[in-house]
Structures are given as structure tokens and as C-alpha cells.
Structure 1
């Protein structure tokens, strides 16, 4: 199962649990893609980050890999990603997820439940905070979007720092592996800038 599929299933489970109390999700199915509103395309995170801040966090950073923006699909969300590296020692990844309006029906009663783009993004944010990419417990931070949390921890036994933030229907996840110590505030600002530009 690839990362995109795992991410979608995580968000889907969170949405179903929040809307229907968890167990009832098995009796549902999502309406066809044409019934959902188009999701605005997300720009490449490689072009969203503040380069001055990036150089302070990961000096001499170069683009290591880029995941092009998806096209709007039946899942009701699209995403893109970018990873920067500095000499193979320090890394910074930025992922942008944007959600759209979805219609979900009960199989038996055919009752339609509306999930707004903002609600979907809120559930995605909650899921990413409850199940972080690194070994840490994200805590709320201020000044970054409408919701944001961050934490310092480890990934593959190396120091890492994670920021998850949301504004409206967009969620941005920034992870710095082996960053220059003491750059947490700059990471918050970099995340805020990427979220605003997205």
C-alpha cells in the first residue's frame, strides 16, 4: 500500500468516525466523483517555501525530489510534495494537501451526508496530529494558520522536527530531519509562509 493510499484511508477513517460514530462507516459508500466539487490544484511546495528561511534551517539546500500536484480525483482531495537536502545530512520535506466538498451516502437508507472542504481538512489535521510522522507528541502553536501543532522528536534515530498546520481547506506538513539546532521558530514561519502561498 503506497503512502498516498495510506493517507487517504487515514483521512477517510477520521471523517467517518467523526461523522458517524465509527462503526457505521462500514455501511457507507462515497458518491461518484462527478458529484463532488472540483478541488483547486495545489502548487508545488518547492515554490512555496521562503528560501531565506530554508537556508537558515537547511543550509545550502537543494531540491532532492518533487511529487507533482495530483489532478482532482474521486477521493475529493489532491496533494503535492517537495524534499530539500543539504549534502545528504539535513533534510526538509513539505507536503500540501487540499480538500474539496464531498457527498457521502448511506448504502441502506441512501441518506446523503455532506462533508465540507473545511471539515475534511479539519479531520485531516486532527489525524496527522494524532498519528505524527515522527516519534513525538505535537502540541498547539500560535501564529501559523487557523490550526497548528509542532513537536521535536526522532525519525530513524535522528533528531527531527514536525509542524502540521491548517488554513481553510488546506493542510501543510513540514518535517525537518537533522535541522540546524534552535531553528524551531523559523520552521514555524516557513510553514506559515507556505500555507499562505498555497
Structure 2
């Protein structure tokens, strides 16, 4: 059986291109996720793993739809090999049911990891250069230092619930916890 998997990283992105290509490639079922590729637990992909059987083929539009890290992709390949499942990537024209396809998969996976690391290095270099010029990254703080200290003090005094503190200060729980962690 040919089973398709499509993924986009955000809710505003569209799956139509991937779905059309997977249908044209003969997929009997297609499962989709709208979640970042860096998240290893994806509901539709978990369902696909439950459904796939020996002799089946998983079709994806591109390798980066399955996973972003080399380790993640290699883990999937190992799983597919153990279970007798083939992987076909339509854009890279990879078919792991052949020896050449397995080799190409590993080369492409390495290149994808390399590209991700280059982007990370460039981003870090840019942030470093900005800091050297006195610029700080990140969003501006929602509250000034005095209000942040008050929120932390209320938290530590344990006289108000977390929800009450957040409501009084007009902040979310994660914001409160980040202020507590800073101090």
C-alpha cells in the first residue's frame, strides 16, 4: 500500500501542493500535520507509523517534511529497514527500496543537516555582531523592572494564586515563570 505524509510548519501554510503530488503518485491514504519539523512527536506521523506494514511504501513530498535533523531521518530509515517499509521522496526522486536510493537518501539527509547548521551559524554570527554594536535581540519586555520585581515578590510570598498574579499583572503564566527564573 502507498501511504502519503504531508506536513507544513504553520497553520497559515497550505498543504495542497503536497497533497496533489502525493495523490498523483498513487497514494491510497494521505495523513497531514501542521507542525514544525523539529518537533519529533507529530500526531499524523505517529498514525502513519501505526498503519504502515511490511511491503508498504511511505511517500513524502520532500525529505524535510519527514524530519529536519539528520539523526531523526536516520532513525526513520533504520525503522523502515527493520520493518520492511520503503520510503519515496517525490522531489528528491529517492526510492529506498533500491540500494542507490538508500545511498542518495543518506547523502541528502547529510546535506539537509549541513544546511540547517549553516543557517544556525549565520544567525548566531548576526546576533553576535548586533550585540557587539550594543543591540539586544528578542522582544521588548512587557513590564519594567519594578513591575517584574513585584510579580516575582507576589509569587514568592505565596499569598495569591498563579492565575491571580497573572491576571493582576496582565501577563501569562510562562511570562511569570520566566521572570521568576531570571531572579
Q: TM-score, normalised by structure 1?
A: 0.24
Higher relative contact order (CA 8 A, sep 6+): 1
Q: Which has the larger radius of gyration?
A: 2
Say which structure is richer in helix: 2
Say which structure is richer in strand: 1
